[in-house]
Amino acid sequence: MAAEPFIHLAGLSKVYRTGRSEHLAISDASFDVSVGELGCMVGPSGCGKTTLLKILAGLHPHDAGELRIGSPGHDFDPGRDVGMVFQAPLLLKWRKVLENVLLPAEILGLPMAESRERARELLALVGLISYESSYPYELSGGMQQRAAIARALVHDPKLVLMDEPFGALDALTREKMNLELLRIWSESRKTIIFVTHGISEAVFLGSRVIVLTAGPARMADNFPIEMPYPRTLDMKTHEAFGAYTRRIYRLLGME
């Protein structure tokens, strides 16, 4: 018997209402993601990717369809079990790096001695242990985003949601951060949903790619990327990589 998916969406829709007007943001989104997958959600700007991410995070309700997150017999609490990484690192400028990473643990009231030890382990994982006493302004953009990833993991969430986390970085730093994220994911084995409008980025990172059309977001496809890990940059020259990117271009009407 196949294992139950960790994330299950079926026919999910979301409508924003303002006065007498309605805006259909998501229409009939359906996909499954297994435990430990790195699922990339790709689509044009304004197609509803961020709205869907907020629904997964428990920040917005959905209006129709089915949404289930978690394993059978195990409760899923979005306030405790979700870690978020945004396009901007959103580090508190008056707090040192270690103190920024500890913020979710403080908010959730977790034991601070254990949380501090875990925060240092995560800073070592993201290559920032020597910067734990630095302030955000002393870090590069890529380093700040690595601190944000550590912060998202410090309370040991079951699900990590990443909303175009590398979109503001220059191309070279973005490539480095893609490799860094894959390394962190391979060691943490967290279930990750990574939102991007970069087709190449989605194929390079994802164990699965979820393709959404222009808003309102509709499912165009949802398929596994059957390329081995660890991924290397030279894989972008492989025929399989090109075939996946062309498939997405076609789905988005770009070929």
Tens of pLDDT, residue by residue over 142-191, are 999 999 999 999 999 999 999 999 988 899 999 999 999 999 999 998 99
Q: Provide the H-helix boundaries in 3-62.
A: 49-56
Which of 91-95, 215-219, 222-226 has the lowest average pLDDT? 215-219
- 12-71 pLDDT, tens per residue? 999 888 878 888 888 888 999 999 999 999 988 877 888 999 999 999 999 999 999 987
Name the amino acid, one letter, at 174: R
Question: Do 90 and 163 touch, CB atoms closer than 8 A?
Answer: no
Residue 56, both tokens: 């997964």
**Per-residue pLDDT tens digits for 183-213:** 999 999 899 999 998 999 999 999 999 999 8
Distance between CA atoms of 120 and 124, rounded to whole angstroms? Answer: 6
The confidence band for 74, taking pLDDT boundaries of 50, 70 and 90, is low
CB 155 within 8 A of CB 110: yes
Residue spans per domain, the chain: 1-68+158-255, 91-157
Mean pLDDT computed over 239-245: 96
CB 204 within 8 Å of CB 231: yes
Question: Is residue 2's pLDDT more than 60?
Answer: no
What is the pLDDT, as a whole number, of residue 81? 94
pLDDT given for residue 255 in this prediction:
67
With CA atoms as reference, report the closest residue to 236 among 168, 160, 146, 171: 171
Residue 1 is predicted with a pLDDT of: 45
Structure tokens that stand for 164 in this block = 């175009």
Nearest-angstrom CA–CA distance, 245 and 216: 22
Helix (H), strand (E) at residue 202: helix 199-205
Q: What angle do CA 151, 152, 156 make, to 5 degrees?
A: 105
Render pLDDT for 99-118 as a digit per residue (tens, 0 to 9). Answer: 999 999 999 999 999 999 99
Structure tokens at 86: 């945004």
What's the pTM? 0.94
pLDDT band at 132 (very low <50, low <70, confident <90, very high): very high
Predicted local confidence at residue 149, as pLDDT: 96
Which pLDDT belongs to residue 215? Answer: 65
Mean of pLDDT values over 227-248:
95
Write phi, then psi, for 162 (nearest 5 degrees): -125, 115
State residue 18's pLDDT score. 83
Report how far residue 13's alpha carbon sits from residue 197's, in angstroms, rounded to the nearest whole number. Answer: 21
Asked if the 1-68+158-255 domain carries CATH number 3.40.50.300, the reply is yes
Q: Which two tokens stand for residue 194?
A: 């990574």
pLDDT score for 234: 95
Among residues 216, 238, 219, 217, the alpha carbon closest in space to that of 227 is found at 238
Q: Which two tokens stand for residue 50?
A: 């961020």
